[in-house]
Structure 1
Amino acid sequence: MGAERRRYGQGRAARAFALPTCAVVVLGGCASMPDSGDVEQVKATKGADSQVRVLAVPPRDGAAPEEIVVGFLEAMTSDDPSFATARKYLTKRAAQEWKPEQLTTVLTEAPDAGLSEAGEGEESRSYPLSGELIATVDRHAYQAAAPTQYSGTLRLVRQSGPESKDSKDKEWRIDSAPQGLVLGESDFLRNYGSVNRYYFASGQQSVVADPVYIRQRQDPVTRMDPVAQTVSALFEGPTDWLRPVVGSPFPTGTALKTGVTSLTPDDQNQLKVPLNDKASNVGRMVCQKMATQLLLTLRDLASPRVDQVELQRTDGSPLCVLSADQAEASVPVRASASPGNVYFVDATGRMAVVGADAKTVDKTTVRGPFGTGEVRLGTVAVARNGQRAAAVSQDGQHLYAASIMSDEELAAPLVGSNGAKLADRLSAPSWDRSDLWVADRDPRRPRLLRLAGGEGPPQAVAVDGLDGARIESLRLSADGVRIALLLSKDGKSTLKIGRIERRTTPEGVTAVSVVELQSAAPRLDSVTAVSWAGPSRLVVVGKEAGGVQQVRYIQTDGSLSPAGGVPGLNKVSAVAATEDDDQPLVAVSDDGLVRLAPSTNWQTMIDKGSSPVYPG
């Protein structure tokens, strides 16, 4: 070959030549393979269709090195048990060293295998792999990254078969490959699905969602079905990022009973979960907390439905039984009597309310000082019990709190800002489980403030990792251990998620800090607005570099939510969502205050309105 260099395709989508090494596609639910017709090459999937299965095909005798490269890349996307077919493209040594379960590298498109290196002999070749890296997945945890260049190498050698040393019988095999799986995003989403594991917030009886990814069908390595995978992932404990603020009652080393790879509820929707010896002697209270975590975690699976869990000892005897209704008591949901109500600031600067899911719009001002017009309001937030609200004055200088269920006098402001202009004063407020939060954007004294119980006095909260960025807006999660921060720096806006840590000082004071900021939307060049839309999901308004504004759902780990994007809307400046998927998404755009109910398009609610919020 000498200095000969051949280009044979830009990613799988461009590999148009037919190869016997191509994988075969099978639709989920098919009982048999077709016995007629042509076998076609499977290229990178265009969408995340979990009903499509890719069956890997082993290398043919005498396959060219390019065929070995393509076949191996295809085989990595399959459900082949233990990736046995993918290993057939490797030398014996490489097959033993390759650990597909160790790490998954996610690229925007399937990896592109480039030219073989020039100047190599006839016994070895190297093919560079390239692409745009957007995430890695380690121990089920998805770690999003700003798109960066990925590079890897497949090194091929010619090796003799077991019964021949004739050079004519030598076969090309891969002797060195990147560790783990390297997948395009569509193949990753076809094979993996996001599931929330639930752990108890430290010192609390409520739970926190910890999103991870599991195989949507049987795992090739463990041979576990999705339910068993999910349960085993829960036993592993929380991700490193969340671990400091949550806990789990499962004893160290808890696992499914040896040999259990499938879990299926009975016809009464009861799931029996046999545990190993590590968990066989826990007390009833601990067992019920374990069952609570299991039930809440399993409800995120599309199927099967689980209404009750029975945890069992290794000998099959029951440890405890818990129903789904009992588990729901640990979910930090809003306690508002009217969870479908949307609150906003009307054209007169008063706080008003409207039923977002009502067929006809009936706007009324709230009771108390926020509905009288005593102070013209700019932004508002409603406590999760729906009884009280917080509001920032229209000039951004003062933060107030008052009842919206009864008449009372307007109390003195809780916080004041001395910023020279509106953009440098107070942000919109937000509530966690019980406390009120706001940011003072004064460049001379920027502060993140927390008011315990929504009453004060304001306590400054340290935020690690701001790196000179300013907090423009914030939204607290219902569980109270995470905060979404919209930050600005050098003319760019980014979205970060911070972990809220609380510790009690020797003087008995609760010190609160925000630590380990991680990017929640690294693929967006700018972010305009954000709202929590579930226990681990956000709805974000932003745009990619050179793109147009869009509204999309994302997971807190930075991965795309299965809900994806929403219908287009012009110039969105604010957005509000709730943990309840049945409640409409609400936004402010050129069309006024608009709503998007499930399976419908955007509809105008109010011609002029701003600062829409659900309780929280």
Structure 2
Amino acid sequence: MGTERAGGAPRARARALAYAACGAVLLAGCASMPDHGDLRDVESTPRQDTQVRVFAMPPREDAEPSEIMQGFLEALTSDDPQYETARQYLTENAARKWRPELSTTVLANGPDTATDLTGDTEDDDHYSFTLTGTKIALVDAEQSYAPAEGQYSRQVHLVRDKKSEQWRIDGLPQGIVIGESDFQRNYMSVDKYYFASNTADAEAGAAAQPAAVADPVYVRRRVDPMTQVVRSLLHGPTNWLGPVARSSFPLGTALRKGATLTPDEQNRLTVPLNDKAARVGTAKCNEMAAQLLFTLQNLTPAVDEVELRAGDRKLCELREDRAPAVAAVGSARHADYLYFLDGKHRLVRISADSGTTSTEVVPGALGEGATPLRSAAVARDEHTAAGVGLDGKALYVGSLASGGSLGDPVLVSAGKTETDRLTAPSWDAYGNLWVADRDPGNPRLLMLRDGKGEPLEVRTPGLDGRIKSLRVAADGVRIALVVEKDDEQSLLVGRIEWERVGEQSAVRIRELRSATPELAEVTAMSWAGDSRLVVVGREEDGVQQMRYVQIDGSVPEGPAPDALTGVQEIAASEDGRLPLVAFSSEDGIVRMESGTQWQKVVKEGAAPVYPG
């Protein structure tokens, strides 16, 4: 999300009563309100401390329509778990039909509210308002975030009850509408975890250990987020991720009715499930527990161990330190080295997690310099590497062991110029090598099984433009592409889907979606977490900036990396403990450890990469 906007609702600020003793804020939505006229600028309420609970006030006796409308909108920004106070502003019938969980529409400045002059406002017992604003995002019923644009316009109808003489809302859109700053205050992004399916492991007979896949969702920050996210996890992956991910929880598994999840003093969480999970075996139960541990690792309080139960029966228990043995998660994989090209266009490396700047040439032909390179990629096991020749025409694969020869290129581009040839390559989790050929006459995304053999053309339905760069995620089922068209670049994330066509394998990239809709230029990018990327780019008529983005197009909490001039390439690891590394035209290879500033590594160097 963007920064909090200035301005706001002075009336809302005047009505907020803070009770420090009980840690709550009451939104007094019905005090000091005008009795007639249009409502304007229903801005998001001021940002409160994240530990402060915010509750709304119920409607005041004999409140006018404008006051009812304002109070209802403020109730939508509260921490009321079931929106019970908001429902008090509705008629009984409307309250029964309204489903706030269906969607959350996020507007840039909160909804503007104006009297609907085309409605029945002249009727003494009826009144209508129109809510308007500029859409920036939509969170759907699966709690999945997606950027949105365009104008929002919905009508809200009020009626005066003939018996009580009180105004109430009897017609309103489903879901809720909220301003950007209130969304930032009320919601947080959490990765829930599933396992990769429909991938190269089934084709190649890879190791049995499944790869964990992050599926980001937004939950309400102060409304029992642990129980919320576990319920979402049990519900299954979002529609976007579903075709390439599976859950080890049996279909229909849910929390026991009325369960609320809280870890004990030893950070141990007991998860009571319904009978759908009662007959799972130990191996399957361990996978279920691993999904829970991966999902809950970034919540507070921390969870170090989970115990799964169904009825009175204990199914299994798993500690956090044993979870990586059950499933491989990208953020837990630790690289030994950072790699880059030195001034002689050779592949070299330094220790990934130490402060040393001591560089060594990699063993094998790619470090000998006989074939100068312009880009390289190192397999995730760090036993093999690939490099594109200095002119961008040929792709080579070689062992990172002494004495190995390079041999003939595994792929050659027919592009006439260097910019119309091969992109930097990328390795997936199964040892397959990905690269794009930018030849205008035959632009293609290609994959080489195990880095050798006949390249397999990857179909990209819906792709509009040429691929400028690519990076495959550690889970092997998602790919990030920088796509170029009409001198603009966009960062897209898509699913990698495998299928059989006769005796052959086929691979497609499905449902590409933008991760940086506001950027007109993307210079460089890299995966920087299980669902996060680091991006260098600029907005229209803006200056170059570096930022983190989520794969769903939202911006994660926390500071952006420090500014750096002239960045042309960026390298990060899914393991957030490793430094961020960049190539700057002014400073060469530089790196930044967490909480520190950029530091020079070498002046003569380019194309930094971690394994992947």
Both proteins in one fold, TM over 0.5: yes
Q: 2:25–2:55: 8 Å Cα contact kept in structure 1?
A: no
Please state how far the C-alpha of 1:128 moved relative to its aligned partner: 2.2
Please state how far the C-alpha of 1:534 moved relative to its aligned partner: 1.0
User: Which residue of the partner structure matches residue 121 of structure 1?
Assistant: 122
Return the letter of the residue paired with 1:142.
S
The one of 520, 531, 543 equivalent to 1:548 is 543
User: Which residue of the partner structure matches residue 441 of structure 1?
Assistant: 438
Asked whether 1:16 is paired with 2:10, we answer yes
Return the letter of the residue paired with 1:74.
E
User: Which residue of the partner structure matches residue 272 of structure 1?
Assistant: 270
Could you tell me which runs of 5 or more consecutive residues in structure 2 were left unpaired when the two chains were aligned.
34-41, 203-207
Q: 2:306–2:318: 8 Å Cα contact kept in structure 1?
A: yes
How many residue pairs match? The answer is 581
Q: 2:212–2:330: 8 Å Cα contact kept in structure 1?
A: no
Q: Deviation string for 1:162-201 (max 9, x for gaps)?
A: 3xxxxxxx44332322211111222122222211111121
Return the letter of the residue paired with 1:121.
E
The one of 570, 575, 591 equivalent to 1:575 is 570
Q: Distance in 2 between matches of 1:436 and 1:445?
A: 19
Please state how far the C-alpha of 1:251 moved relative to its aligned partner: 1.8
Please state how far the C-alpha of 1:17 moved relative to its aligned partner: 3.9
Return the letter of the residue paired with 2:101.
E
Q: Which segment is superposed worse, 262-271 or 45-54?
A: 45-54
Q: Distance in 2 between matches of 1:183 and 1:491?
A: 35
Please state how far the C-alpha of 1:122 moved relative to its aligned partner: 5.1
User: Which residue of the partner structure matches residue 189 of structure 1?
Assistant: 184
User: Which residue of the partner structure matches residue 167 of structure 1?
Assistant: none
Residues 82, 161 of structure 1: alpha-carbon distance in 2 compared, 3 angstrom cutoff:
farther
Return the letter of the residue paired with 1:569.
L
Q: Deviation string for 1:432-459 (max 9, x for gaps)?
A: 1111100000010111110111123211
Residues 348, 272 of structure 1: alpha-carbon distance in 2 compared, 3 angstrom cutoff:
same
Residues 18, 594 of structure 1: alpha-carbon distance in 2 compared, 3 angstrom cutoff:
closer
Please state how far the C-alpha of 1:411 moved relative to its aligned partner: 1.4
Q: Secondary structure at the match of 2:83?
A: helix
The one of 170, 177, 181 equivalent to 1:175 is 170
Q: 1:553–1:563: 8 Å Cα contact kept in structure 2?
A: no
User: Which residue of the partner structure matches residue 150 of structure 2?
Assistant: 148
Please state how far the C-alpha of 1:88 moved relative to its aligned partner: 2.2
Residues 47, 382 of structure 1: alpha-carbon distance in 2 compared, 3 angstrom cutoff:
farther
Q: 1:12–1:43: 8 Å Cα contact kept in structure 2?
A: no
Q: 2:437–2:443: 8 Å Cα contact kept in structure 1?
A: yes
Q: 1:573–1:587: 8 Å Cα contact kept in structure 2?
A: yes
User: Which residue of the partner structure matches residue 105 of structure 2?
Assistant: 105
Asked whether 1:234 is paired with 2:233, we answer yes
Return the letter of the residue paired with 1:530.
M
Q: 2:24–2:54: 8 Å Cα contact kept in structure 1?
A: no
User: Which residue of the partner structure matches residue 256 of structure 1?
Assistant: 255
Q: Secondary structure at the match of 1:599?
A: coil
Q: Deviation string for 1:99-128 (max 9, x for gaps)?
A: 111111122222222354268315333322
The one of 452, 462, 467 equivalent to 1:465 is 462
Please state how far the C-alpha of 1:215 moved relative to its aligned partner: 1.8
User: Which residue of the partner structure matches residue 207 of structure 1?
Assistant: 212
Q: Distance in 1 between matches of 2:508 and 2:49?
A: 41
Please state how far the C-alpha of 1:356 moved relative to its aligned partner: 5.0
User: Which residue of the partner structure matches residue 420 of structure 1?
Assistant: 416
Residues 23, 126 of structure 1: alpha-carbon distance in 2 compared, 3 angstrom cutoff:
farther
Q: 1:48–1:187: 8 Å Cα contact kept in structure 2?
A: no
The one of 481, 485, 492 equivalent to 1:496 is 492
Q: Distance in 2 between matches of 1:399 and 1:62?
A: 76
Q: 1:524–1:544: 8 Å Cα contact kept in structure 2?
A: yes
Q: Secondary structure at the match of 1:326?
A: helix
Q: Secondary structure at the match of 2:517?
A: coil
User: Which residue of the partner structure matches residue 137 of structure 2?
Assistant: 135
Residues 592, 30 of structure 1: alpha-carbon distance in 2 compared, 3 angstrom cutoff:
farther
Residues 49, 497 of structure 1: alpha-carbon distance in 2 compared, 3 angstrom cutoff:
farther
Please state how far the C-alpha of 1:429 moved relative to its aligned partner: 0.4
What are the residue-to-residue correspondences of 1:587-606 with 2, within 5 Å?
587-589=582-584, 590-606=586-602
Return the letter of the residue paired with 2:90.
L
Please state how far the C-alpha of 1:46 moved relative to its aligned partner: 5.9
Q: Secondary structure at the match of 2:102?
A: coil
User: Which residue of the partner structure matches residue 66 of structure 2?
Assistant: 66
Q: Distance in 1 between matches of 2:595 and 2:136?
A: 30
Q: 1:23–1:71: 8 Å Cα contact kept in structure 2?
A: no
Q: Distance in 1 between matches of 2:82 and 2:414?
A: 63
Q: Distance in 2 between matches of 1:380 and 1:19?
A: 55
Q: Distance in 1 between matches of 2:392 and 2:435?
A: 11
What are the residue-to-residue correspondences of 1:260-409 with 2, within 5 Å?
260=259, 262-301=260-299, 303-314=300-311, 316-329=312-325, 330-333=327-330, 339=335, 341-409=337-405
User: Which residue of the partner structure matches residue 7 of structure 1?
Assistant: none
Q: TM-score, normalised by structure 2?
A: 0.89
Residues 128, 25 of structure 1: alpha-carbon distance in 2 compared, 3 angstrom cutoff:
farther
User: Which residue of the partner structure matches residue 159 of structure 2?
Assistant: 157
Return the letter of the residue paired with 2:98.
W
Return the letter of the residue paired with 1:292.
A
Q: 1:24–1:54: 8 Å Cα contact kept in structure 2?
A: no
Could you tell me which runs of 5 or more consecutive residues in structure 1 were left unpaired when the two chains were aligned.
1-10, 163-169, 219-224
Residues 149, 608 of structure 1: alpha-carbon distance in 2 compared, 3 angstrom cutoff:
farther
Please state how far the C-alpha of 1:26 moved relative to its aligned partner: 5.8
Q: Deviation string for 1:455-510 (max 9, x for gaps)?
A: 2321111111113x111110000010010011111222111111111123442x33
User: Which residue of the partner structure matches residue 85 of structure 2?
Assistant: 85
Residues 548, 149 of structure 1: alpha-carbon distance in 2 compared, 3 angstrom cutoff:
farther
Residues 72, 392 of structure 1: alpha-carbon distance in 2 compared, 3 angstrom cutoff:
same
CA RMSD of aligned residues (A): 2.6
User: Which residue of the partner structure matches residue 39 of structure 2?
Assistant: none
Q: 2:25–2:54: 8 Å Cα contact kept in structure 1?
A: no
Q: 1:553–1:560: 8 Å Cα contact kept in structure 2?
A: yes
Q: Secondary structure at the match of 1:71?
A: helix
Asked whether 1:485 is paired with 2:490, we answer no
Q: Which segment is superposed worse, 571-580 or 265-274?
A: 265-274
Q: Distance in 1 between matches of 2:403 and 2:331?
A: 23
Q: Deviation string for 1:122-180 (max 9, x for gaps)?
A: 53333222222122112343232253222222223333453xxxxxxx44332322211
Residues 455, 365 of structure 1: alpha-carbon distance in 2 compared, 3 angstrom cutoff:
same
Return the letter of the residue paired with 1:287.
C
Residues 520, 16 of structure 1: alpha-carbon distance in 2 compared, 3 angstrom cutoff:
same
Q: Secondary structure at the match of 1:344?
A: strand
Return the letter of the residue paired with 2:456.
Q
Q: 1:429–1:474: 8 Å Cα contact kept in structure 2?
A: yes
Q: Distance in 2 between matches of 1:527 and 1:483?
A: 16
Q: Distance in 1 between matches of 2:564 and 2:520?
A: 18
Q: Which segment is superposed worse, 373-382 or 602-611?
A: 602-611
Q: Secondary structure at the match of 1:562?
A: coil
